[in-house]
Amino acid sequence: MNRSSATNEDGNGALKCQKFSPEGKLQEGNNKKVELGKKVTLLRGISIIVGTIIGAGIFISPKGILKHSGSVGMSLVVWIACGVLSLFGALCYAELGTCIKKSGGHYTYIMEAFGPQVAFIRLWADLIAIRPAAMAVISLAFGQYILEPLFMPCSIPPMAVKLATAIGITSVVYLNSMSVTWTARIQIILTISKLVAIATIIIPGMYQLFKGNTKNFENAFELSNVQLSGMPLAFYSGMYAYAAHLFLNHLSTSRTVPLAICISMAIVTFCYVLTNVAYYTVMSAEELLASDAVAVVRTSFLPSFLPSFLPSFLPSFLPSFLPCLMFYVASREGHLPEVLSMIHVRRHTPLAAVLILYPMTLLQLFVGDIYSLLNFMSFLRWLFIGVVVLGLIYLRFTKPDLPRPFKVPLFIPVVFCLTCFFMVFLSLYSDPFNTGIGFVMSLTGIPAYYIFIYFSRPKWLQKALDSFNRTVQIILEVVPADQ
């Protein structure tokens, strides 16, 4: 995919190439130029943000937050604090998105601030650890939830969960490899199913609360079990549920961005807190901690048809293997093999980029559980998110004349950055094994950068890489996106 082209969907869902001028304007024919519109109304921006953020995390995170925060009241405080922190992060990314108008997200922002070496380490960590672990976490939740109604009241054999998860992941890989259009359509259906699921939990829960079922909130702020060392892991679980807020940096004009983000984050935080209040109206803290599928147990007091209804939204736990644009940009910059930026000649899907994530995801699926993988992934994710926002602060001083249509007050990135680094380094003490593994894996990106990128490659190595690209291209039938 070269710098002067991009892909778009035609009426049949096929990806087609479109040419752009150096100024970033779409060229139609030989003499027409159409400006790429990015304006989104406030209402549509709010709907996009809320629909993007609310996901399976609300069914995964409550147990981890309660376990590490120490009490019901503190768990609700953590949910609210994570919402505020996510708001700060979204505003920081909104500034970066309006002043650095290049694709690639985290990778590009770090590249602009700190150069190619740090950007490559972020890319390396994402490829071998962050993205596979994130997909393994959400897929393990799918396996747990899909089997829980079948095994209740007995416990589920761990291997059964992993096998169900592996089948789910393989199905998603196949779907993402076969059709861009069907993947997008199913994603819309699954988003709706998640919202229906949350409403199914909140409405009856509020009904029970208004009836006076408040016994589980007695001594809610008992602090005897609260420990500072556990708070980073509680925040990791909470921020996982809000993680998609970093997608919001390209939505609209400078005037709409902050208002849409603020309103949306308030709505999401309110929904998450109400969902957890609904959990506690029918479950004690001990029952929630004992459950591996809180939403299934949570519906035990509802009419008999609802537990059987739950599996209908459970596929929404399955991840999308379609890689982010970062992989394409990194391949274009020479930091990844060229074949990863190619698409299938007939299906128009990024087949090579999808398949490269599959074995790493299965490996992490079978060696870890949900919460160990969540801590491992979150350590790396928030370390580099902190680096990105540190880059925002750095660019304020090194490039003060950089156009900034939207600019956050400096205290917001400072607070966000310090909080990220505090969580990250304290978690090395709280969970040294999983976070330590993540730290070591990220450090392997340093020798990888110098071996594969910085130093001139020996002729035999370059020949081997070229042969690899050609072989994979022939086997998978993929071509550069601008052909």
Chain segment 453-474, per-residue pLDDT in tens: 887 777 887 788 788 888 888 8
Instruction: Give 421's Cβ-side CA count (13 Å radius).
Output: 10
**Same domain as 32, residue 149:** no
Helix, strand or coil, per DSSP, at residue 368: coil
Q: List the domain range (segments joined by +) for residue 153.
A: 38-480
Between CA 292 and CA 330 the distance in angstroms is 38
Query: 475 CB contacts (<8 Å, ≥6 apart)?
Result: none
pLDDT at 251 over 80: no
Q: Are 133 and 373 in contact (CB under 8 A)?
A: yes
Say if residue 26 is in the same domain as residue 110: no
Give pLDDT, residue 83. Answer: 92
Residue 5 — very low, low, confident or very high, per pLDDT cuts 50/70/90? very low
197, with CB counted inside 10 A (0-12, 13-18, 19+), is buried
Are 24 and 79 in the same domain?
Answer: no
- Asked if 140 and 252 sit in the same domain, the reply is yes
User: Please, what is the average pLDDT of the chain?
Assistant: 77
Minimum mean pLDDT among 167-171, 271-275, 349-353, 416-420: which range?
349-353
Please indicate, yes or no, whether residues 177 and 219 belong to a single structural domain of this protein. yes
Pair 89, 19 in one domain: no
Q: How far apart are CA 161 and CA 435, in angstroms?
A: 24
Q: What percent of the chain has pLDDT over 70?
A: 77
33 and 65, same domain (yes or no): no
Task: Please write the tens of the pLDDT for every residue from 48-99.
Answer: 777 778 777 787 888 889 888 888 889 999 999 999 999 999 889 888 888 8
Burial status of residue 94 (CB atoms within 10 A of its CB: 0-12, 13-18, 19 or more): buried
State whether 94 and 242 are in the same domain: yes
Q: Residue 293: what pLDDT?
A: 59
- Closest CA relative to residue 237, chosen from 432, 440, 431: 431
CATH code, domain with 328: 1.20.1740.10
Give the model's pLDDT for residue 2: 39
Residues 33 and 43 in one domain: no
Q: Check whether 259 has a pLDDT greater than 50.
A: yes
Residue 19 and residue 130 in one domain:
no
Q: Are residues 12 and 86 in the same domain?
A: no
Longest dimension (CA), the chain: 76
pTM score over 0.85: no
Secondary structure of residue 50 in the 3-state scheme: helix
CB 330 within 8 A of CB 336: yes
Do 26 and 104 belong to one domain? no
Write the pLDDT tens digit of every residue in 199-232. Answer: 877 888 888 888 888 888 887 787 777 777 788 8
Q: Which residues contact 150 (CB under 8 A, 6 or more apart)?
A: none
Structural domains of the chain, count? 2
